[in-house]
Each structure stands twice: as C-alpha cells, then as structure tokens.
Amino acid sequence: MSTALAPAPAPPRTLVGFSGKDSPEPALINTCVHCGLCLSSCPTYRETGLEMSSPRGRIYLMKAVSEGRMSLASEVFQGQMSECLNCRACEAVCPSGVQYGAIVEASRAQIQTAREHASGTGPIRPQGASVGLIRAFVFGRLFKSMAMFRGFSWLMKMYQVTGVQWLARNLGILKLMGTSEMELMLPRFSSTFTVPKGQVYPAEGTKRQRVALMPGCIMSTAFAHVHEATIRVLQKNGCEVVLPPNQGCCGALHTHGGDLDGGRELARTNIVALEQGGLDELDAIIINAAGCGSTLKEYGHLLHEDPAWHDRAGKFVAKVKDVHEFLAQIGLNTADLKPLPVKVTYQEPCHLAHAQRITAQPRQLLNAIPGLKLVEMAESSLCCGSAGVYNITQPELASSLGARKIENALATGAEVIATANPGCALQLAVELKKKGRDVPVRYIVELLDESYRGVRSKSLA
C-alpha cells in the first residue's frame, strides 16, 4: 500500500487586502501624498478626464484594497489596473518619488494569482479556458524558449511571404474571425534572425570598449535589421561586440502583465547567459529596445527577495546600458558621419523617457548627424498606446492614443518618425497605415548607421 500523501489543497485565497508574495508594499503606496501633480502627464487621464483613471485615483484604489476596504475582486479595481498603460509618466514627475511601476505590477500579479485560483463560484472571475490556454502558451512556452519563438517567427514569415496573408486580408477571413485589427500589428518577419552563438564583431580602429548586445526575442527576429545596424554603429565607435549564447526574452511582457515568477525565470536565464559569456570582461551590456532596457535594469528589484540571486542581478544590472545612453557617454564618433539630409521627428518611448529617464541623449545623437533636421512634435513623451499587449486588452484607448500621436507627428511635416522601441514602432506604423500615410518609422541607430555608411535606405530615398 502506498504511503504517499496527496498534496494538501491550497488554502482558499482571501480577496480582502493583498496577500502572499508579491503584495504591493503599503509603504510604497503610502508615498503618494495625493498632490495631483502627475495627473496632466497621465495618458489615460488626458483621454478620459476621470480621476479614477489617473495615477492618484489608481493609488487610492490600491490603498483601499491594501487596507481591506475594497475587494481584490472589485471590477473597478481590476479594470483600472488593466487600463493603466504602466507608461510610468506619473513616476517621472512625482515629487514624492512614488514607485508606481512596482506597485501596479505587484497589483496585477495579485489579480492574476487570484484568477488562476478562482473557483468559478467566488466573486473573482476565473480566467476563461481560452485566455488561460493562450496565456499559458505565450507566457509559459513561446517567450521562454527562443527555439520555439524562432519557429513561430518563421511561420509568421511564411504567412507573410507566401500570399496567405494577402488572401486572409482580401477574402475577408480576418474580418470574419474578428482579428483584422490585431493582425495589422504583426511586424514584418522578413529580417535575418540574429541568433546569439558567441559571435564576436571586432571594433573599427582603436578598441575602446568590449560590449555584449542583448538580442532579446522580437528584436532578434522581426527587428534583426536593427541589431545589425546597432552592431555596425558600435563597431564604428570602437566597440568590440559579442553576442553571448543562451540569452532569451528579457521578461518585460511577463513582469508588466503580472507574471512576476515568469519574469524572474527569464531574468535568471539571462544573468547566467551573460555570466557564462564573460560578464567580468565586459564594459557594458547594450540594449537597443526601451522596454527591454528598463526591464533589464530592474532585475535587481525583481529578484530582491531572492538572496541567492540578488547580488548576481546587481552585478548584471550595473553593466546594462541603453545604446543611446552608452554612445553619448563614451562620446559619439562624429568624424565618420556623412550627411543625411532628412527632416525627422522623435517619438519618445515611455520606458526610455520615464522609466530610464533618458531624454537628452537620443536627441543629441540625432542632432549629431550632418544634414538631419530634428523637429520636435507636441506631446513627444505621451504614450503612443502600444504598452506591451495594451492594444489587444484596451483597443479603444490604444487606438485613440495612437491616432493622437500620429497627428502630432504629422503636424511637424517630418519625413521620418524616429523611435527606439519595437512596440512603439509597430503602433506608429499601424496608425500611419490607417491614415493612409507612407511615413517611415525608424530606429535612431538605423539613422546613425545610414549616416556612417553614407547610404540612403529605400524608405529614406
């Protein structure tokens, strides 16, 4: 007779107050003094005019749940945690230093855990079977295995280049399935994938630095051409560039979406990959996507309760540099830049401007390109509505923020919109398509690369 005991059932989760691990810390919530100085910076408040949809309103809701005056199951609470873009514009202007990103991500983690444990008869809606399956596949499998992610990217490429996409669009199949808006957001999977295998790209001229490039997931597939441009620009700036193997997705989608354990797993994978790739010999770990950069820089916070990993995360984070921050810091090689006469406007990714507070350096780099005229758009740092999967979870707000951004960009008369994040690049491209406007959206490093090479890409010609 087996003596094995069946595992004890998990204790019922209380919906009064936050509980268990990843609870938003009351001390962080209470940093807010309700001054309201953040309201005019908040995109959802600007769109709706509702106090509830402002940072202060959302912090009130978190405080109410934290103190047991509101249930975690409250539709208002869940709705507002989902409606927030986590753009962190509020955090950047808050005089009290509220760490808004940390408390909203922990609140989402609490909601997600409660949904996963919901019985179906309680007050919190359990996750629907299809949503649960999609989440489990996307968060649990696709973004955790780069082999699978590359396989998926290859399938997407086949969908796009074999005519299936054309048929699906023109025969109304996507409309019938209700997925035409979502499908518009698919990037072009036509680049050559950047698979990190330990490649070393030598510095041009005198070697100034040895750096690693983090290829990531979507950036190493649909945006591999941006990585190629980044490597060439770094080489031109005297950097030896290495691509340590076994790196993967940074975990941004997981952490922003409340799957903090999933984010931690990916953080550990990347830390090990860089340790094995010679972290001690590196001057910097370079990242060219704003959302990924802010996630990498926050690995220390993500792993702060894990003594075995906290110090290792600290060593890793100390070397992470956004590519614009890095180039401005080491001093851009301006001697080899050739004229690129084009009028450019810059849309600031939230996770560069607000989360990493990098605002001057991207403009500095653009202004260094001879012949390039930088024209500022209104509301450059107001979120474009991309925000991870926001355009899927909150399509109306995402679309109206996207349209607002494009109107501001087009009003400048710019021939190119520059940015530094894949989500923003996709959102801008979709909104331009909806308006029937053919304005190229380019990464700053692509413009630098073209200037160094003295070539004009077709979209700029």
Residues in the chain: 461
Contact between 265 and 144 under an 8 Å Cβ cutoff? The reply is yes
Q: Which stretch binds ligand SF4 (CB under 6 A): 82-90, 161-169, 227-235, 322-330?
A: 82-90
Task: Candidates 63, 88, 115, 268: give the one binding ligand SF4 (CB under 6 A).
Answer: 88
d(Cα 166, Cα 178) in Å, to the nearest integer?
16
Residue 344 Cβ vs ligand SF4, minimum distance, rounded to whole Å: 26
Sheet bearing 199-201, strands edge to edge: 199-201, 239-243, 209-213, 284-287, 320-322
Q: How far is CA 268 from the centre of its chain?
A: 18
Is 84 a binding residue for ligand SF4 by CB under 6 A? The answer is yes
- Site size for ligand SF4, by CB under 6 A? 26
Residue 126 Cβ vs ligand SF4, minimum distance, rounded to whole Å: 26
Is 263 a binding residue for ligand SF4 by CB under 6 A? The answer is no
Q: What H or E segment, with its residue span, contains residue 204?
A: none
d(Cα 214, Cα 250) in Å, to the nearest integer?
9
Rounded CA Rg of the chain: 23
Contact between 369 and 340 under an 8 Å Cβ cutoff? The reply is yes
From residue 110, alpha-carbon distances to 76, 303, 369 in Å are 15, 17, 47
Is 386 a binding residue for ligand SF4 by CB under 6 A? The answer is no
Task: Candidates 15, 98, 328, 428: give the one binding ligand SF4 (CB under 6 A).
Answer: 98
Is 55 a binding residue for ligand SF4 by CB under 6 A? The answer is yes
Contact between 181 and 187 under an 8 Å Cβ cutoff? The reply is no
Q: Which is nearer to ligand SF4, 59 or 425 (CB)?
A: 59
Task: Candidates 78, 86, 408, 421: give the one binding ligand SF4 (CB under 6 A).
Answer: 86
Is 100 a binding residue for ligand SF4 by CB under 6 A? The answer is yes
Is 324 a binding residue for ligand SF4 by CB under 6 A? The answer is no
Is 89 a binding residue for ligand SF4 by CB under 6 A? The answer is yes
Is 355 a binding residue for ligand SF4 by CB under 6 A? The answer is no
Is 103 a binding residue for ligand SF4 by CB under 6 A? The answer is no
Is 52 a binding residue for ligand SF4 by CB under 6 A? The answer is no
Is 33 a binding residue for ligand SF4 by CB under 6 A? The answer is yes
Q: Which residues contact 274 (CB under 8 A, 6 or more apart)?
A: 212, 244, 247, 282, 285, 316
Give the footprint of ligand SF4 on this chain (CB under 6 A). 32-38, 41-44, 55-56, 58-59, 84-90, 94, 96, 98, 100
